[in-house]
Structure 1
Amino acid sequence: MAVQILMPALSPTMEEGTLAKWLVKEGDAVKSGQILAEIETDKATMEFEAVDEGVVGKLLIAEGTAGVKVNTPIAVLLEDGEDASSAASQPSSAAPPPTPAKSEAKASDERPVAAPAPAAAPVSGGVRVFASPLARRIAAEKGLDLTSVKGSGPHGRIVRADVEGAKPVAAAPVAAVAAAAPAPAAAAAAKPAASMPTGMAAETVLKMYADRQFEEIPLDGMRRTIAARLTEAKQTIPHFYLRREVRLDALMAFRETLNKQLEGRGVKLSVNDFIIKACAMALQAVPNANAVWAGDRMLRLKPSDVAVAVAVEGGLFTPVLRDADKKSLSALSAEMKDLAVRAKTKKLAPQEYQGGSFAISNLGMMGIENFDAVINPPHGSILAVGAGIKKPVVLADGTIGVATVMSMTLSVDHRVIDGALGAEFLKAIIEGLENPVAMLA
């Protein structure tokens, strides 16, 4: 029997993706674990592996197709001895047709609709079971309870080989299964669908500019995600802002000395590397600020996992430097450069841009003197870093002098961090930057 290959969920938040490239063609024999395609999510381009063995009978989605919903059939895999007619006879999916990547459709032709929730894994005895379609069919034929089978596929998924040698076990009483697994309709009714205000309707805006020339730009996955998350952040997170200035003269002199010493190793430290290190050390010095909001509780982290905003075409990434307090300045510099390069080509794995408790957004290199950054949920705070500018200052002896001064604004989630705690955290960051030698300790 032919098996449908479905659009995978390659990250916890993925609802749709772009089928960037097929790495197999119709008629190719594939094995479990073989790379079938490259899938673009909202943040990265990832490889998709085959779970079952067989022959590619039909590719249902063309390369470059965007907006393919999770669990939409994208190809048909045939068993040995089957022909392509089996692929043609496969039932069509109820999922809506995907949108071409370069759609010419006008916004006024259609209203936005909510994306359907990804289909859940099969439930057996109240336990979610992840198994390939072929493995489920074989299990049904043999009377196997899939909860008793250990999967050997990716992420523990049950595949054909796991069920072919397994022996049937006594099934759980039907009444017990029914009691453990609530009806899908009841579960859906218990949790109302979330909605997000989108501002003025597309039709209203189009009418406003009907007599003006414009180019309509469709939203890609990254821009949709940014819009959704930032709307969520400003609507649900009670932001407050703490502002301070830091004198950089000691840091600039220390950086110049270190770079001369590291010149032979091909390492050149940036001011941003010192900022990352100072923030990582401050999270350890003020551990109560190293926290995230988790819906109905807070999570206080032990390591200093610092996210850093990186601008890419069409949006931004926030790759995370894990255990940043334990790494040397040169190691942080090398890791940050690598993450930034791969972010710009969308080659980061989800675990490289998810997590952390705190983020840094540095627009100083673009000449911005100061700004307020929006917290990236579930983080407890984010630091906005401005440009270092020479300014007149009052020196320690009371005279007027010139110093390089940088403005910093800490945006804080008041549910996680109170004013005094936020001030203590920002003070620790400033002290680290104004005493950079301590970063080598």
Structure 2
Amino acid sequence: MSSENDKDVKLTGLQKAMARKMIASWTDVPQFQLESEVNCEAMMAFRKKQDYKLSYTAILAKAAADTLAEFPRLNSSWAGDHIVEHEDINIGIAVDTKRGLLVPVISNADRKSLEEIMEELNAMKEKSSRGNFTMEEMQGGTFTISNLGMYRVNSFGSIVNAPEAGILAVGKMQKTVAVGEDNDINVVYMMHPTLTVDHRVTDGATGAKFLTALVERLEHPDENF
């Protein structure tokens, strides 16, 4: 139903390109989602122990990169009649900017330390306020992370950023009553990551193994970072 006070909102070139890309990803990519849960207590304690300001996005990016090294099929792309397994692990980080949603890339994230990844994220944060990322900074991604933990979003699923095979969506940490191994009851912070995967590239079992290994890394940061 229209009103005389309605107005047309013109899209920028970037917004039009993003719309076309999302339509193609949604209509052309058969995708499925897997959700898990992460006990965040050890990760929160690990973060506090660092002598620099470490974000959860940095931890997620490093954990995802190291897990992708174990599961190269998730670090792949669909190429029409074959699959390309990428040698480099380049993590795209979805960020909100004045120009719209952009996905700058942390190249070779598996070869970088947490502190190096944090430095790149700080640079992204500074640039995101202006939205002045270069095309080179947004190219070459092989896997994407979308973190909405700073908002009141418990969990969500993202559309695959084609031609990448997978994207990880993460909501906020929230207090949850949990039953321990000895049936003790505790209140802990939990997070619910959702993995979306291109079903042409891999199957549910591989996606589940990847997500399980990722959760294990996040729950035992002292042993993995």
Report the Cα distance in structure 2 between the residues aligned to 1:389 and 1:359, rounded to whole angstroms: 23
**Counterpart mapping for 1:18-29 below 5 A:** none
Question: Which structure's CA Rg is the greater one?
Answer: 1
Which of 141, 148, 156 is the aligned partner of 1:363? 148
- 2:115 is aligned with what amino acid? S
Q: Quick one: distance in 2 between partners of 1:292 and 1:433?
A: 25
Find out whether 1:425 has 2:210 as its counterpart: yes
Aligned to 2:118: 333
Which of 233, 236, 242 is the matching residue for 2:25?
233
2:39 aligns to what?
247
| Corresponding residue pairs, total | 225
Where 2:84 maps in the other structure, the secondary structure is strand
Q: Higher helix fraction: Structure 1 or Structure 2?
A: 2
Asked whether 1:393 is paired with 2:181, we answer no
Say if 2:72 is the partner of 1:287.
yes
Q: Which has the higher contact order (CA 8 A, sep 6+)?
A: 2
Within 5 Å, which residues of 2 pair with 1:263-274? Answer: 267-274=52-59
Shift of 1:400: 1.4
- Given that 1:319 and 1:353 are in contact with CA atoms closer than 8 Å, whether structure 2 keeps it comes out as yes
In the alignment, the residues of structure 2 paired with residue 404 and residue 368 of structure 1 have an alpha-carbon distance, to the nearest angstrom, of 14
Partner of 1:414: 199
The alignment partner of 1:359 has SS state of strand
Q: Is the 8 A contact 1:289 1:380 kept in 2?
A: yes
Superposed CA deviations along residues 158-189 of structure 1, whole A, max 9, x for unmatched, are xxxxxxxxxxxxxxxxxxxxxxxxxxxxxxxx
Partner deviation per Cα, 1:219-274 (whole Å, 9 max, x = no partner): 1111101110101111000010000010000010111111xxx2xxxx30011111
Q: Secondary structure at the match of 2:178?
A: strand
1:378 aligns with 2:163: yes
In 2, distance between residues paired with 1:230 and 1:403?
36
Q: Distance in 1 between matches of 2:212 and 2:140?
A: 24
Identity %: 37
Q: Which structure 2 segments of 5+ residues have no match?
A: none
Distance 1:212 1:428 in 2: 55
The Cα of 1:295 is off from its aligned counterpart by 2.3
| Partner Cα separation in structure 2 for residue 244 and residue 268 of structure 1 | 27
3-state DSSP of counterpart to 1:365: coil
Q: 4+ runs of 1 displaced by more than 6 Å? A: none
Is the 8 Å Cα contact of residues 280 and 325 (structure 1) preserved in structure 2?
yes
State the secondary structure of the residue aligned to 2:188.
strand
CA distance change for structure 1 residues 219 and 313 in 2, over 3 Å: closer, same or farther?
same
1:191-216: CA deviation from partner (whole Å, max 9, x where unpaired) = xxxxxxxxxxxxxxxxx41x341222
8 Å Cα contact 2:98/2:130 also seen in 1: no
Q: Which runs of 5 or more structure 1 residues have no equivalent in the other structure?
A: 1-207
Secondary structure of 1:423's partner?
helix
Question: Which amino acid letter does the alignment assign opposite residue 372 of structure 1?
Answer: G
**Displacement, 1:314?**
4.3
Q: Alpha carbon RMSD of aligned pairs, Å?
A: 1.3
Letter of the 2:42 partner, please give it.
A
5 Å-filtered alignment, 1:182-261, equals 208-209=1-2, 211-258=3-50
Alignment CA distance shift 1:408-1:215 (3 Å)? same
1:422 partner amino acid: G
DSSP 3-state at the match of 1:364: coil
Q: How does 1:20-419 map to 2 (within 5 A)?
A: 208-209=1-2, 211-258=3-50, 262=51, 267-419=52-204
TM-score (ref. length: structure 1): 0.50
Report the TM-score when normalising by structure 2: 0.96
